[in-house]
Amino acid sequence: MDAVITYVNGLDPVWQSEYSKCVGMETFLEKRFRDWGTLKYLLRGICVNMPFVRNVYLVVSGDTQVPSWVDRDHLRIVRHSDIIPSELLPVFNSQAIEMFLHRIEGLDEEFLYFNDDFFPMLPCSEEDFFIGGRPCHHMSRHWLTLGNDFRYVVKQSFRFACEAAGAVPPAYYLRPQHTVAPMLKSLCEELYSSREKELLSSVTPLRENCNYNQYIFSDYIYLKGKAACRKISNKHFSLAVAGIGQMEKFIDSPTCKIVCINDVKIPDSKYQSYRTRLLAAFARRYPDPCRFEL
């Protein structure tokens, strides 16, 4: 199977210039775009813990987004223009970018989608993500969005997937586990081709409530009866709740196979301190360069 990672470095001056021209820097959200410098440890985690992964695709807006230490002969670089229709570019919205990942040329039928804040921490097997060709999805049931924009998009994505799968949407909505997402390219293509007009019309440069997100594909796989209903071993840290000490302790002695470290709005001084300590912890865990590094 392959792995796909969406990545952005909001400190890139070329990216910032394009962003400013398109939507204005007053809309810039640091928590969504700043670079913690952890991409190399995500890649090292894949190499150490997921030897069954064949190709890794890094999805970026352009060449200046690719870190200088990346070995382009081994890490496959995918530009937004390679998969997203030109009339929709530029986009700075991960929810929009996620609509087109299945269009990556050469992508395997079975692939894993990583946000760039997911990290493999312990040895994994193919069966952690696919059982007999069926992606492992754990769906939780929810009723309210409570004015939360992300939950609203999750709900709308589920209802969209229900309609595409020929299912009547229930009063509640389902939400996939927030972790590495195992996907089937053929079913992503099937959903996209059957609802292409609606999906294209939902794409916006920044996040809006008219967007869908990648959950539509997980939902569709589940609703079509093609998923294996099982949790993936996962731990989630939010910087709004967890202290850096908790994260350092977990990285040094992980208890789950995948960890998500979710950024939030914090003062720059705290960000710099957390970043330094987080990188030091990952460097202890994964000290050796991998095949994706020069």
Per-residue pLDDT of the chain (294 residues; tens, 9 = 90+): 999 999 999 889 899 889 889 888 766 666 567 788 999 999 999 999 999 999 999 999 999 999 999 999 999 999 999 999 999 999 999 999 999 999 999 999 999 999 999 999 999 999 999 999 999 999 999 999 988 999 999 999 999 999 999 999 999 999 999 999 999 999 999 999 999 999 999 999 999 999 999 999 999 999 999 999 999 999 999 877 888 999 999 999 999 999 999 887 777 888 889 999 999 999 999 999 999 999
Residues 55, 260: Cα–Cα separation, whole Å: 22
pLDDT of residue 10: 86
pLDDT of residue 29: 60
Specify the pTM. 0.96
pLDDT of residue 170: 96
Are the beta carbons of 115 and 7 closer than 8 angstroms? no
pLDDT of residue 242: 82
The predicted-structure confidence for 110-158, as pLDDT tens digits, reads as follows: 999 999 999 999 999 999 999 999 999 999 999 999 889 999 999 999 9
The predicted-structure confidence for 158-170, as pLDDT tens digits, reads as follows: 999 999 999 999 9
pLDDT of residue 130: 98
Burial category of 56 from C-beta neighbours within 10 Å (exposed 0-12, middle 13-18, buried 19 and up): buried
Q: Of the candidates 211, 214, 148, 210, which has an alpha carbon nearest to the alpha carbon of residue 187? A: 214
Task: State which H helix or E strand residue 258 sits in.
Answer: strand 258-262
The CATH code for residues 2-285 is: 3.90.550.10
Residues 230, 90: Cα–Cα separation, whole Å: 37
Peptide bond just before 90 cis, omega within 30 deg:
yes
pLDDT of residue 89: 97
pLDDT of residue 102: 98
pLDDT of residue 91: 96
Query: Domain spans of the chain?
Result: 2-285
pLDDT of residue 30: 60
pLDDT of residue 27: 64
Q: How many CB atoms lie within 10 A of CB 145?
A: 16
Residues 69, 186: Cα–Cα separation, whole Å: 33
